[in-house]
Amino acid sequence: MGSGIAQVASQSGHYVILIDQSQSALDKSAVQLSETMSKLTAKGKLTKEDAELIQSRIIRNTNIESLSDSDLVIEAIVENLEVKKELFGKLDQIVKGSCVLASNTSSLSITAIASSSKTASRVMGIHFFNPAPLMPLVEIIPALQTDASLVAKMQSLITSWGKTVVIAKDTPGFIVNRLARPFYGEALRIYEEGIASISLIDIAMREHGGFKMGPFELMDLIGNDVNYAVTETVFRTMYYDPRYRPSITQLKMTEAGWLGRKSGKGYYDYNSPETHHADRNPTLEKLVFDRILVMLINEAYEALHLGIASSNDLDISMIKGVNYPKGLLQWGIEIGLNNVATKLDELYRYYGEDRYRCSPGIRKAISNV
């Protein structure tokens, strides 16, 4: 992620210092960037001169002290709150007073990270999506302590880099990782109950919903360890709200080392040509799709109800951040919020779990029609 963010900034004309404790990791990033630039040049998307200039503007260094004159530092290290807080404490002693300090965390508390800085007003979240050079969305997350004027300044800067910027409240998962939880969680629940197979669930979301990938395909692409860690973090930091409860299946996949594409095996075996085969059942596929979709819509309306972000930012985040075919709020309107509420109420009566409670945001939207 750090290398990708550095590439984005350099392509926008900025000089960048890329820091890593490992020289070999820095060397690897240089080789990868060179290969990327060669591909873009071959496709005619960059001139040779521009490609060389982009690479020359990135300086790689293992010494964190070299950041002393930076205007913006974006941290993209391991997803561990204490490790991040320790780093921000160090940065506070190194960088100049006007330097903005940002974290690329996908789910950890920006307010907690900011608390480790003596000048917490300059700390915020700037969350890129992977791969950073290709994914258009960036979430900006002010901490409770963040100076509002810096948020507008960073929004303008990141927009000038060609990114679509949304502003999110500092709550677990921010926008995308919060709203996307049911895409994985409800799919896992349906599978664990024996309602449908993994491959049928994926087919249902692709064929009936227009999603580019099904939930199990996407979890394998992200990495089951990464997806599980985000789910567990959101669940814990949301005070164990059952809507975000992790799956035992997901835990066991992680424990087995079946992490997905990167390990060669996950929910699918990537050494087998028949790994995505499934018998079609249109009726069951529609049932599966409807159930997952109403859970996604419910989560979006709950986020709107709680003021996590504006309605426009909520919808554009899912289109630009995870390639959903439509914004979830708009999707709810299209299929009818009364229909969404009815389906959720049916699930709630059947299971008796708060996981399926209909958001007041949906009830409110219905009453305002």
The predicted pLDDT at position 274 comes to: 65
Q: Left, alpha or beta for 18 (phi > 0: left; psi -120 to 50: alpha)?
A: beta
Q: Is 205 a residue whose pLDDT tops 90?
A: yes
3-state helix, strand, coil in the chain (%, to 5): 55, 10, 35
Q: Is 287 a residue whose pLDDT tops 80?
A: yes
Asked if 57 and 10 touch (Cβ cutoff 8 Å), the reply is yes
Annotated catalytic residue, options 3, 29, 177, 247:
177
pTM for this model (two decimals)? 0.94
Residue ranges of the chain that CATH labels 3.40.50.720? 2-167
Residue 278, amino acid: A
- What is the topology classification, in CATH, of domain 2-167? Rossmann fold (3.40.50)
The predicted pLDDT at position 360 comes to: 98
Report phi then psi at 139, rounded to 5.
-90, 130
Residue 151, amino acid: V
The predicted pLDDT at position 277 comes to: 67
Q: What's the mean per-residue pLDDT of the chain?
A: 96
Mean pLDDT of 192-203: 96
Annotated catalytic residue, options 75, 107, 127, 186:
127
For residue range 320-355, list pLDDT tens digits in order.
999 999 999 999 999 999 999 999 999 999 999 999
Separation in Å, CA 248 to CA 63, 106, 232, 234, 296: 42, 22, 11, 16, 21
For residue range 7-40, list pLDDT tens digits in order.
999 999 999 999 999 999 999 999 999 999 999 9
Annotated catalytic, 339? no
Q: H or E element: which one contains 227?
A: helix 224-237
Annotated catalytic, 177? yes
Q: Is 307 a residue whose pLDDT tops 60?
A: yes
The predicted pLDDT at position 107 comes to: 85
The predicted pLDDT at position 36 comes to: 96
Q: Is 312 a residue whose pLDDT tops 80?
A: yes
Percent of the residues in the chain that have a pLDDT greater than 70, as a whole number? 98
The predicted pLDDT at position 352 comes to: 97
Mean pLDDT of 289-297: 98
Band the pLDDT of 188: cuts 50, 70, 90.
Answer: very high
Annotated catalytic residue, options 106, 199, 224, 227:
106
Annotated catalytic, 305? no
**Positive/negative CA dihedral, 171, 172, 174, 176:** negative
Annotated catalytic residue, options 75, 139, 285, 302:
139
Residue ranges of the chain that CATH labels 1.10.1040.50? 177-368
Mean pLDDT of 45-50: 95
**Residue 5, token pair as written in the block:** 């963010």
For residue range 52-87, list pLDDT tens digits in order.
999 999 999 999 999 999 999 999 999 899 999 999
Task: Sort 221 into a burial class: Cβ within 10 Å, 0-12 / 13-18 / 19+.
Answer: middle
List Cβ neighbours of 211 (8 Å cut-off, separation of 6 or more). 205, 323, 324, 325
Mean pLDDT of 205-214: 96
Band the pLDDT of 279: cuts 50, 70, 90.
Answer: confident
The predicted pLDDT at position 326 comes to: 96
- What is the topology classification, in CATH, of domain 177-368? N-(1-d-carboxylethyl)-l-norvaline Dehydrogenase; domain 2 (1.10.1040)
Q: Cα(124)–Cα(102) distance, rounded to whole angstroms? A: 5
Lowest mean pLDDT among 222-231, 232-241, 266-275: 266-275
Annotated catalytic, 103? no
Question: Minimal CA–CA distance to 18: which of 6, 31, 30?
Answer: 6
